[in-house]
Amino acid sequence: MPASLLALAAGAFGIGTTEFIIMGLLTQVAQDLHISIPTAGTLISGYAIGVAIGAPVLTLGTRDWPRKRLLLALMLIFIAGNVAAVFAPSYGWLMAARVLTSLTHGTFFGVGAVVATGLVSPEKKASAIALMFSGLTLATLLGVPAGAWIGQHFGWRMSFAAVALVGVAAFMILWLYVPRQLAMPAPASLRQELAVLGNAQVWLGLGITVFGFAGVFALYTYIEPLLTQVTHMSNQLVAITLLVFGAGLAIGNYLGGKLADRSGAMRALFITLAALLVALIAGRWTFGSPWIAMTYVLLLGIAAFMTVAPMQMQVLQSAGSAGTNLASSLNISAFNLGNAIGAWVGGAIIAGGMGLLSLSWAAGTLTVIGLLLTGVSHWLAQSGSRGTTQARGNAALCTNAK
């Protein structure tokens, strides 16, 4: 794997850290800016909306840019957004800074995934995507806890200052190690990029991502109350358990990339989504003991991120040679939409009085929808393949008859 992939992972680490860091700083932000905690929580929603909208718009607007220049420009926007957050005098200012930063997220991961696949041989493409996304898993494992620690000791503004410095480091690494001339296909025209929106397989791939990954957040969003109220863990043990989950993400990300390279994206989707479904449903019986719960959280992390590389590869392969940048960025938006849907479904289950352990059934149901969509996608692909074979056979018969 070339060093340029590690440069992409460095950028992913910074962006992943700034996405989730606010979760550990909500109380401080609310007190400092004189707003309620629910209002501070909308800073998370604002970021997700910015990702969902900004990814396709920015990707289309920069489709003719050289890939290295685009990645560097995105990191400059990322740095500016975090610096603006450091000096935010009000909630509105901080929200604007968060939205500005979020604009880089979808396009960086979407374009970065395409660049990553162009840096390696065909049989290593999924592993290359997994290596880039390892920056996101490390952000969950190391970046977010470190940011929360900085916020507790030096104030929430210093947490954003630290993330801005991570962005500066990522910019330098990208500038040094990503090749100026990448062996990429010629930029697609706007019509070619938009044509991907008429591809049924791309939409199925996006649906698989939304619902398959929604299951993860239907459960994981409420992991803290599960561990404290059901398992009766101490706050210290909860923190350790969340670190274990981050380790599981890193392991699953690596395994998912290897599996997709060896078995193909479609087969890997069936395997990983089935494993995720089993893991989600098993949560109904695994929060009775702290050590069983910790083991379960590790396995959940592995199962969750085993799906990421196959999901991204499936959308890229469905898009074909044209429209890959837009399709890839839309899939990043799909991940964020899945996060939002999963968290909403989980909240509705709790608000309905069904109990925290019922989250496993709701999460499993969402992932079942992802599995069903995978089956539909596979059936369409097989039908198209049989149709092509039949057409070729008919053409050959006509030729022989002549």
What pLDDT is recorded for position 282?
96
Do 166 and 215 lie in a common domain? no
Q: Classify the C-alpha dihedral 117-120-122-128 as positive or negative.
A: negative
Q: What is the pLDDT of residue 112?
A: 84
Please answer whether residues 176 and 2 qualify as being in contact, where contact means their C-beta atoms are separated by less than 8 angstroms: no
Residue type, 241: T
Same domain assignment for residues 85 and 34? yes
CATH number for position 127: 1.20.1250.20
Same structural domain for residues 341 and 203? yes
Q: How far is CA 171 from the centre of its chain?
A: 21
For 295, the domain range is 197-402
The domain total for the chain is 2
Whole-angstrom CA distances from 83 to 34, 91, 143, 167, 288 are 21, 15, 17, 10, 44
Question: Domain check: are 122 and 218 in the same one?
Answer: no
Query: How much is the pLDDT for 397?
Result: 46
- Describe the chain by its helix, strand, coil percentages, rounded to 5: 85, 0, 15
Q: How many CB atoms neighbour CB 195 within 10 A?
A: 17
Cα(57)–Cα(99) distance, integer angstroms: 14
Q: What is the pLDDT of residues 318-340, one digit of tens each?
A: 887 666 778 888 888 898 888 87
| Cα–Cα dist 332/110, whole Å | 6
293-297, long-range: CB within 8 Å, 24+ apart, which pairs?
Answer: 293/226, 293/227, 293/231, 293/233, 293/241, 294/237, 294/240, 294/241, 294/244, 297/223, 297/241, 297/242, 297/244, 297/245, 297/248
Of 149, 177, 205, which closes a domain? Answer: 177
Give the orientation angle of helix 3-20 with respect to helix 125-138, to 10 degrees. Answer: 40
**Same-domain status, 14 and 87:** yes
Q: Is 153 exposed, middle or buried (0-12, 13-18, 19+ CB in 10 A)?
A: exposed
Residues 214 and 79 in one domain: no
Contacts 24+ apart (CB under 8 A), 60-66: 60/190, 60/193, 60/194, 60/326, 62/107, 63/187, 63/188, 63/190, 63/193, 63/325, 63/326, 64/187, 66/180, 66/182
Asked, for residue 291, whether it belongs to a domain, the answer is yes
Nearest to 311 by CA among 345, 271, 346, 282: 271
Q: Which residue shows structure tokens 């003991």? A: 289
Residues 297, 394, single domain; the answer is yes
How far from 79 is each of 97, 167, 251, CA to CA, in Å? 10, 6, 29
Q: What is the pLDDT of residues 12-53, one digit of tens each?
A: 898 888 877 876 677 788 889 998 866 777 787 788 788 888
Which residue is listed with tokens 């901080």?
Answer: 94
Specify whether 123 is located in the same domain as 251: no
The structure tokens listed for 304 are 């969750």
68 and 169 both lie in a single domain = yes
Question: Any residues with CB less than 8 A from the CB of 258 and at least 6 apart, and which?
Answer: 126, 127, 130
* 172 and 207 housed in the same domain: no
- Report if residue 188 sits inside a domain: no
Cα distance between residue 315 and residue 125, in whole Å: 13
What is the SS3 assignment for 288? coil
Residues of the chain scoring pLDDT < 50 = 391, 396-397
